[in-house]
A = this chain, B = another copy of it.
């Protein structure tokens, strides 16, 4: 089926069906809910239908998040003629089936990361959207944190020069307690992988975004707590089948080298997605725990005042997306990155194009994760496929 064509003689209205009602359903909902409030040049979007498994929870989500309809039959919704965009915000093990159905129905598709739990699924999904000729967006939302978008602009403008290093880590600490039960994120069948796929995928995406393709890597991973209670308070234990942490050495196609780490066992690190780029003309550092800031060192500054600039990346007229929100130094938060992503996506759709990151980005990310998993086993450097 062909994607539903938007008349270009009047401003299009995009009607969205959202699959998923939990954390990511909420995050994506607020983006659709707010994008037209803040971005006057964004195409109009309608929150048409939200789909979930439980009728009660889906209805609650509908009302709270502002969707017109609730449904427990996502397949029927995806097939509806009055839907333009299907947004897949379910856990990774559902992505493939849903995306295939949406592509089959000719919808434009938004998919939460990771694209899929396996490389094979990711390949099928890319083939499907390509064959259907639909647009596709992968929600690596951190690319649209203004400070990260500013970093990208600076790299592209040559202000960092030739890149020598990319080092990044994404650390959290929620898994520290041995008493924490075996939630789905500890189960390879549901989650695909552990810290590597959950957290590492984000910093790998940022690495690709800012430094280009990863060529090869070495890796190791570890499961520090090998068994957990099957449920909270239970004395029955089950195996943790994913990694708690992973560490990579990477070489980029452009010659840069670096390290990447992901861990759920870093006390005090709540959402510590941080990177540093060193190039021939300067350096950049970012930390999601202080997400409005970007630090920049320039070799071109006057010698005696060289030092990392602490940029508060929300000044009007200066920084990405800033003009649409508040005044200088009035900080943005986590969810704004989703709003920015949907804004860019809607504008791209209306212009007849698409935007990055798309499913190709997701597939390449998956190949890197796959190489990391292989490298952990082979104990050798692996070339990214």
Contact = CB atoms under 8 A, between A and B. Distances in A.
A257 B222 contact: yes
Interface stretch (A70-78, A105-113, A200-208, A293-301): A293-301
Given A34-B34, A331-B334, 10 more contacts: A30-B34, A36-B64, A150-B304, A219-B249, A245-B257, A269-B278, A325-B334, A332-B334, A333-B336, A380-B380
A179 interface: no
A164 B255 contact: no
A37 B23 contact: no
Contacts of A258: 247, 261
Nearest to A39: B64
A269 B379 CA distance: 32
A280 B29 CA distance: 37
A98 B310 CA distance: 42
Interface in A22-78: 23, 27, 29-30, 33-34, 36-37, 40, 60, 64-66
Contacts of A379: 218, 380-381
A184 interface: no
A329 interface: yes
Interface in A255-308: 255, 257-259, 261, 263, 265-272, 276, 278-283, 288-293, 295-299, 301, 303-308
Interface centre among A153, A169, A292 (most CB of B within 10 A): A292
Interface string A145-164: 00000100110000100001
Interface stretch (A1-9, A129-137, A314-322, A348-356): A314-322
A305 B312 contact: no
Contacts of A257: 220-222, 245, 247
A225 to B, nearest CB: 9
A55 to B, nearest CB: 17
Nearest to A65: B37
Contacts of A327: 23, 174, 271
A289 B329 contact: yes
Nearest to A303: B318
Contacts of A360: none
A291 B314 CA distance: 14
A248 interface: yes
A88 to B, nearest CB: 20
A319 B296 CA distance: 20
Given A272-B329, A289-B312, A335-B326, A224 B164 contact: yes
